[in-house]
Structure 1
Amino acid sequence: MSAATATPGRLRLRLACLDADAPPLFGLASAPGGRQGFEPAVAALLADEMGLDLEWALMPWGDMLPAAQRHEVDAVLCGQGIIPARLEQVDFTRPYGVFHEGVLCRRGEAVRDPSGLVGRRVAAIAGSANERLANTFEGAVVVPFSGDSDDVYADMLAALRSGDVFAVVDDDVVFVPLGESDPTFELGFVVKTHNPWGIGVAKDLPDLRTEIDDALAAIIADGRHRAAWEQWLPTLEYPF
């Protein structure tokens, strides 16, 4: 049984995520001071509201939802846009974030709209909302990157850096600061997709989903969630 099912005496909230360096969303677990960023901050607030210790289970992207289905983790809190393909696998809480999607290029080669991607290789995580958006760019050659990698985000950036792909599609929450701070990359354009992100819980644990959802509602209502947003995502408009 999951450590965070609705039973007395449980001690922890065990959440799945990728171990990657994707600030300000999250950083590496091995970083000085431990895992930091917006999602770890939200997770810590949830655990505190629920009276539990927080534990991260770090794994490849493609393993996260299956781990929730098998009750190896209590939930997935890791960049999960609430899209039909994922709703077939797990149930989601209310959104803890709403984000758009960006197109990242090498600095000096950025394009300002999809017409600049005709005939170009464009990377996105296989099965993601980002891949779905990339497939709407007429004439682009979409290159899916497998979520089975230990760090698919780093794999895509390495392919962009080397020239194996011309652009990468991912969420604005990681691309806006990267495009501003990294001399290698430049943000081409952002598509206002308003993708809601939620916390994924196994379909056969509705009480757990409700408990996490209630905790999320509480930290949004009293301003703790907004404070975390403004600390970690100051350039993005608060969506709630």
Structure 2
Amino acid sequence: MQTLKVICADLPAPPLFWRDKQGKRHGFEADLARAIGQQLGRKTEFIYRNWADFYPALNKGEGDLLLCGQGISDLRKTLADFTAPYAVFDEAVMVLRGSPIQSKEDLRGQRVAAIAGSLNMALAETFAGCIRVPFDGNTGDVMGDMVKALRVGEVDAFIDDDVALVPLAEQPDLAIAFTCPTHNPWGALVKKGQGDWLTQVDNALVALKQNGQLKQIWQHWMPSLAYPF
């Protein structure tokens, strides 16, 4: 059986993805990657790379598919080719519990972190007067880096997708200040110039939507979020 090599990050971001002590990957995107592999008749293998290395790894042929929290953006479309969306999420702003920040107006003059080049950073650019702090993702845990920066006072807030921040808000010192209904679609990506391969992956996603498997995976891992398709 052929292998489907899926490029992704090795960091804890439930309910999207994480690894247990035995090294098995769990979560919505993990199960989706396996389901795509099954549709294609391939065994899924996860190729772990730092966030900043995703696109270089894909373009070097280190993986067949990049599937790891990639909102569809004009910038990313220049780097690789997106599949049809497999998810749609809003974005949220995380702060320390008790912070006076409750709205975008409260971010004026505040240091706001987000992953460099992401849709989250694009949202930060719409917040008038905030001081944007990009995180380049060169470490193994960019989310953990932003949480640490918030806790030690290096930033006042950070932006990520709501699905990733809801579990973090269960920690006693963290809170979601507010959510922005941006409805960002997420897609997987293939190396540019691989039109036939892109069509195969798109067809697999269509099948998962039509047979209800994508909805089943979504509702298993994210029962509180409305299925978007």
> TM-score, normalised to structure 2's length?
0.97
Query: Unpaired segments of 5 or more residues in structure 2?
Result: none
Match for residue 113 of structure 2? Answer: 123
Aligned to 1:135: 125
Alignment counterpart, residue 219 of structure 2, candidates 226, 230, 233: 230
What's 2:36 paired with?
Answer: 46
> Following superposition, which runs of at least 4 residues in structure 1 exceed 6 angstroms of deviation?
none
Q: Give the counterpart of 2:10 among 11, 19, 25.
A: 19
Q: 1:126 to 1:33 in 2, by over 3 A?
A: closer
Structure 1 CA distance, aligned partners of 2:137 and 2:168? 21
**Aligned-residue offset at 1:177:** 2.6
| Aligned equivalents of 2:156, 2:72: Cα separation in 1 | 27
Whole-Å Cα distance in 1 between the matches of residues 179 and 136 of structure 2? Answer: 23
Q: Which residue does 1:182 correspond to in 2? A: 171
For the structure 1 residues 52 and 213, does the alpha-carbon distance in structure 2 shift closer, same or farther, using more than 3 Å as the test? same
- CA–CA distance in structure 2, aligned partners of residues 33 and 155 of structure 1: 22
Whether the aligned pair in 2 keeps the contact of 1:102 and 1:169 (CA below 8 Å) is: yes
CA distance in 2, matches of 1:235, 1:139: 33
- Does structure 1 residue 198 correspond to structure 2 residue 187? yes
Provide the rounded CA distance (Å) in 2 between the counterparts of 1:238 and 1:21: 23
Aligned to 1:6: none
**Cα pair 1:110 1:187 within 8 Å, conserved:** no
Aligned partner letter, 1:27: W
Amino acid corresponding to residue 26 of structure 2 in structure 1 = Q
Paired letter, 1:215: A
SS of 2:158's equivalent in the other structure is: strand
Label 1:129 to 1:69 Cα distance change in 2 as closer, same or farther (>3 A).
same
RMSD: 1.2
Residue 161 of structure 1: how far off its partner (Å): 1.4
Consecutive unaligned residues of structure 1, counting only runs of 5 or more, are 1-9
Deviation string 1:8-49 (CA, Å, 9 cap, x unpaired) is xx6110010111111111113x53461111100101111111
Matches within 5 A, 1:88-99: 88-99=78-89
Give the TM-score taking structure 1 as reference length: 0.92
Tell me the residue number matched to 1:170.
Answer: 160
2:113 partner SS: strand
Tell me the matched-pair count: 229
Give 1:110 deviation, angstroms. Answer: 5.4
Are the counterparts in 2 of residues 110 and 186 from structure 1 also a CA contact under 8 Å? no
TM-aligned CA deviation for residue 51 of structure 1 = 1.1
Helix, strand or coil: the match of 1:239?
coil
